[in-house]
Chain A
Amino acid sequence: MALTHANPMTRWRLALLCLSLWLGACSTTPVTRDGPAQTPVFPADRVLDPGVVYESDRIWDPFEGFNRRVYQFNYYFDRYLFLPGVNLYRRVTPRPLQKGVHNFFLNLSDVTTLFNSVLQLDLKKTLDTSTRLLVNSTVGLLGFIDLASDVPRKEEDFGQTLGYWGLGPGPYLVLPVLGPSSLRDAGGYSVDWSARWLAWQQSVDLELYQSWTRDTLWAIDQRAHIAFRYCETGSPFEYELVRTLYSTKRKLDIKR
């Protein structure tokens, strides 16, 4: 028994080691060429106090090289596919319908908020979310109308639930299309996604093309409600800025 148990574990560790070596190797440090490096006017060792630990340096980013590459991929994906899609959607869809579609998907994500509120043993969030779900799914025509807008809407996901029970974020990750995340949050996302998918299976039977349409529409609706644009903050240090903001925001989301 011990043997059969140890074997996959070792393999798992080995795989993780290989993965991190491969990903870490992607990280490129600045190179010197066209002559010797000259000491700059304001060298870091003179300007900065070495004893100071910066909050932003505490974020663990072992796959930085990989992450920066995905960040660039996301920029191109946004520019050539995602945002043109969003713009087209905005142009051809009447505003009230957009609003309805948005409400519909919010209602859908209330499902995951509900099960995560339960897992976090949070009575108030569970009650609020149940009320919203019940009212909006029935009288609100499957969520198209947010009739329960007076009930505060919470957003809970499985990453937050894991965080609530004390699991740290793990390494920072930039996911393709989805953007900034962490190992914990990425895992949590897949759990939420499966839960939503299961809930859907229980209620409606969809043809393959129908579920593809739904998922595309869902992605477009999500993107349409995020103002962030890759590489447009005007800061040459945008990657670090986003990493810090994401990590602190998640910490707070968990505390809420």
Chain B
Amino acid sequence: MTVNGFVDLTGEKFPAHRLPLAATGMRVILATHFRPVAWDKADNRGMDHPQMLKIARLFLTGLAVCLATTAQGQGEPAYAFPIQDKFRATVIGTPEKLQKTFPPVAISEDRLTVFPGRHAPNYLWYEAQLRYSYVFQDKPAPLIFVIAGTGGAHNGMRNLALMRAFYNAGFHVVSLSSPTLPNFIVSASSTGVPGEAVQDARDLYRVMRLIRERYQRRIGITGYYLTGYSLGGFNAAFVAWLDNQRRAFDFRRVLLINPPVRLYESMSILDRMLESIPGGMDNFHTYYDDIVREFNTLYSTTDRLEFSEDFLYSVFSRLQPRDDELAALIGLSFRFSAANLMFTADLMTNYGFIKPSNVHIGRFSDPGDYAKVAMRLGFTDYFHRFFYPFYNARLDRPISREAMIGRMSLERIADFLRTTDKVFVMHNRDDLILGDGGIEFITEVFGQRAKIYPHGGHLGNMQYVVNVSDMLRLMGGLGRWR
């Protein structure tokens, strides 16, 4: 039916197979750049597209039931997370129906001056103070710190989900942004160049101590816990290692959720994902414009006033995108984080990476082409042409690239991880960011402290009811996986 050029979803005016690309693209972009606010969520739900959602939910519950009934019956129930494909799981995440639900929690946000007297670059005037979220019990309780993944903020969706879960399990919760988020780089990074495992851990440790100082007299703290996902899990491992020497917190338990093992390898994998874009990297701008335009096509063909993730998800469930399209989208979402962190580090150090050194961008200046250049560069460009020379110049004895890459790995603290009884890990056998031997390293080093799920992609199952119950049981009391 067409009214005034308005096509409904059954219309054929647009190429249907291209739709999911747009949908997922915007979902990824939205998830990265427009964070929902906790109290908005309940209201937005009223605006869902009921029919499509219902279909999607039916489909998924059906799938879940099918999978559950084909359990292999080996003592433990089969893992019933419904999305088998690693790319789809990574992009879609956990369908709302299969998430563990908690009562709403009133989460507060605050700011912290980490380095008194430090001046933020003029252009990033609004990043001078570190922003973080917290929610406290009204009686003495253990405190858990949550660290976000690459480019993630303290109030991103995944952090909010973890906050709700741990708060309901009786914890005080403090949520921190990733050391790779511009706000953290400007306000709390001691070097302004993120990615160095031990340096990032020291920066996080400093922030955690400052935040504890703020509240410890007001709230009773009975013990300390730590968790983080993706790069945040990697950070948490190094913070645990640091704490093992400094003992400021003496963490009772630390949970790493889908951490990378060798950071350089994971970053290369993510960079390569963008190579799946049609026509290669030289076509990046057209690809990017296409995503925005196709999202627009989708948007202009619906009756809805606003798009929400649930809506995009339901569209996605109906139309199946190809693996290479999904890979390109995952790559794109990480590319945003890479561009943001590179440009911020460049401004912080006047290194002359994208912006010529000694050129200063004012508060109200137009950064011009720098955004486009930043989007064209990957994590590996950052490592070889900025990170490596920058840190090498600070070392007493210069080291090779290979040695530097070796330092950005859990292997660096493998001895600690092997012997401690406090650090736990949950991971997926099909996680996209792990290279060859990644899972084997984890099972070998963590032994009984590792919980490996058969599938779920990268963080796709993090909010799945089984995973959340597992993590709460581990951190809340049991102290082992089963």
* A interface, CB within 8 angstroms of B: 26-44, 47-49, 52, 54-55, 64-65, 68-69, 72, 75, 90, 99, 102, 120, 122, 124, 152-155, 225, 227-237, 240-241, 244, 248-249, 251-252, 255-256
A235 & B369 in contact (Cβ 8 Å cutoff): no
Selected from A99, A152, A252, the residue in CB contact (under 8 A) with B303 is: A152
Contacts of B127 in A (CB 8 A): 231
* A102 and B46 alpha carbons, distance in the complex (Å): 12
Selected from B36, B155, B347, B366, the residue in CB contact (under 8 A) with A236 is: B347
A44 & B370 in contact (Cβ 8 Å cutoff): yes
Contacts of A153 in B (CB 8 A): 305
For A55, the closest partner residue in chain B by CB is: B289
A90 & B39 in contact (Cβ 8 Å cutoff): yes
A30 & B359 in contact (Cβ 8 Å cutoff): yes
Contacts of B293 in A (CB 8 A): 55, 248
Q: Does B278 sit within 8 A of A, measured CB to CB?
A: no
Selected from B155, B340, B357, B376, the residue in CB contact (under 8 A) with A235 is: B340
* B interface, CB within 8 angstroms of A: 3-6, 32-37, 39-40, 43, 123-127, 131, 151, 153, 155, 181-183, 282, 285, 289, 292-293, 296, 299-300, 303, 305, 336, 339-340, 343-344, 346-347, 352-374, 376-377, 381, 385-386
Q: A37: shortest Cβ distance to chain B, in Å?
A: 4
* A218 and B369 alpha carbons, distance in the complex (Å): 40
Q: A44-B372, A153-B305, A234-B182 are in contact. Are A32 and B386 (CB under 8 A)?
A: no
For the complex of A and B, 8 pairs with smallest distance between CB atoms: A44-B369, A231-B126, A37-B356, A68-B364, A237-B371, A55-B289, A233-B33, A252-B300
* A234 and B185 alpha carbons, distance in the complex (Å): 11
* A213 and B292 alpha carbons, distance in the complex (Å): 40
Contacts A38-B356, A47-B373, A256-B6 supplied; 13 other A-B pairs, CB < 8 Å: A30-B361, A30-B367, A32-B356, A37-B359, A40-B353, A43-B373, A44-B370, A48-B372, A72-B364, A228-B34, A229-B35, A237-B339, A237-B371
Contacts of B366 in A (CB 8 A): 27, 29, 64
A234 & B352 in contact (Cβ 8 Å cutoff): no
Q: A38-B357, A40-B354 are in contact. Are A48 and B362 (CB under 8 A)?
A: no
A32 & B359 in contact (Cβ 8 Å cutoff): yes
For A237, the closest partner residue in chain B by CB is: B371
22 A-B pairs, CB-CB below 8 angstroms? A28-B364, A29-B366, A31-B360, A33-B360, A35-B358, A36-B358, A37-B356, A38-B356, A40-B354, A41-B352, A41-B354, A42-B376, A55-B289, A65-B364, A72-B125, A227-B36, A232-B131, A233-B33, A236-B123, A236-B343, A237-B370, A248-B296
* A234 and B182 alpha carbons, distance in the complex (Å): 6
* A65 and B359 alpha carbons, distance in the complex (Å): 18
B358 & A237 in contact (Cβ 8 Å cutoff): no
B126 & A28 in contact (Cβ 8 Å cutoff): no
B363 & A72 in contact (Cβ 8 Å cutoff): yes
A234 & B340 in contact (Cβ 8 Å cutoff): yes
A47 & B376 in contact (Cβ 8 Å cutoff): yes
B296 & A251 in contact (Cβ 8 Å cutoff): yes
Q: A27-B364, A42-B377, A234-B33 are in contact. Are A54 and B358 (CB under 8 A)?
A: no
B385 & A41 in contact (Cβ 8 Å cutoff): yes
Selected from A31, A42, A52, A256, the residue in CB contact (under 8 A) with B359 is: A31
Q: A38: shortest Cβ distance to chain B, in Å?
A: 5
Q: A42-B381, A54-B372, A124-B3 are in contact. Are A155 and B305 (CB under 8 A)?
A: yes
* A38 and B346 alpha carbons, distance in the complex (Å): 13
* A43 and B292 alpha carbons, distance in the complex (Å): 26
Contacts of B361 in A (CB 8 A): 30
- Mostly helix, strand, loop or mixed at chain A's interface? loop
* A62 and B94 alpha carbons, distance in the complex (Å): 44
Of B347, B354, B357, chain A has the most CB atoms within 10 Å of the CB of B357
* A154 and B270 alpha carbons, distance in the complex (Å): 40
* A234 and B344 alpha carbons, distance in the complex (Å): 10
For A61, the closest partner residue in chain B by CB is: B366
* A153 and B370 alpha carbons, distance in the complex (Å): 41
Of B127, B293, B358, chain A has the most CB atoms within 10 Å of the CB of B358
Q: A72-B364, A152-B303, A248-B296 are in contact. Are A38 and B126 (CB under 8 A)?
A: no
For B5, the closest partner residue in chain A by CB is: A255
* A244 and B292 alpha carbons, distance in the complex (Å): 9
Contacts of B40 in A (CB 8 A): 225, 227
Contacts of B289 in A (CB 8 A): 54-55
For B152, the closest partner residue in chain A by CB is: A234
A38 & B358 in contact (Cβ 8 Å cutoff): yes
Contacts of B374 in A (CB 8 A): 237
A122 & B386 in contact (Cβ 8 Å cutoff): no
Q: B191: shortest Cβ distance to chain A, in Å?
A: 18
Q: A180: shortest Cβ distance to chain B, in Å?
A: 13
* A249 and B344 alpha carbons, distance in the complex (Å): 28
Q: A191: shortest Cβ distance to chain B, in Å?
A: 21
Contacts of A54 in B (CB 8 A): 285, 289, 372
For A71, the closest partner residue in chain B by CB is: B364
Contacts of B292 in A (CB 8 A): 55, 244, 248
For B32, the closest partner residue in chain A by CB is: A234
Contacts of A152 in B (CB 8 A): 303
Of A49, A75, A122, A232, chain B has the most CB atoms within 10 Å of the CB of A232
Contacts of A120 in B (CB 8 A): 4
Contacts of A32 in B (CB 8 A): 356, 358-360
Contacts of B370 in A (CB 8 A): 44, 237
* A155 and B47 alpha carbons, distance in the complex (Å): 14
B182 & A236 in contact (Cβ 8 Å cutoff): yes
Selected from A44, A72, A124, the residue in CB contact (under 8 A) with B373 is: A44
A225 & B353 in contact (Cβ 8 Å cutoff): no
Contacts of B303 in A (CB 8 A): 152
Contacts of A33 in B (CB 8 A): 358, 360
* A48 and B385 alpha carbons, distance in the complex (Å): 18
A252 & B299 in contact (Cβ 8 Å cutoff): yes
Selected from A229, A231, A234, A256, the residue in CB contact (under 8 A) with B181 is: A234
Of A36, A37, A49, A244, chain B has the most CB atoms within 10 Å of the CB of A37
A240 & B352 in contact (Cβ 8 Å cutoff): no
Contacts of A35 in B (CB 8 A): 357-358
* A154 and B340 alpha carbons, distance in the complex (Å): 36
Of A42, A43, A155, A232, chain B has the most CB atoms within 10 Å of the CB of A42
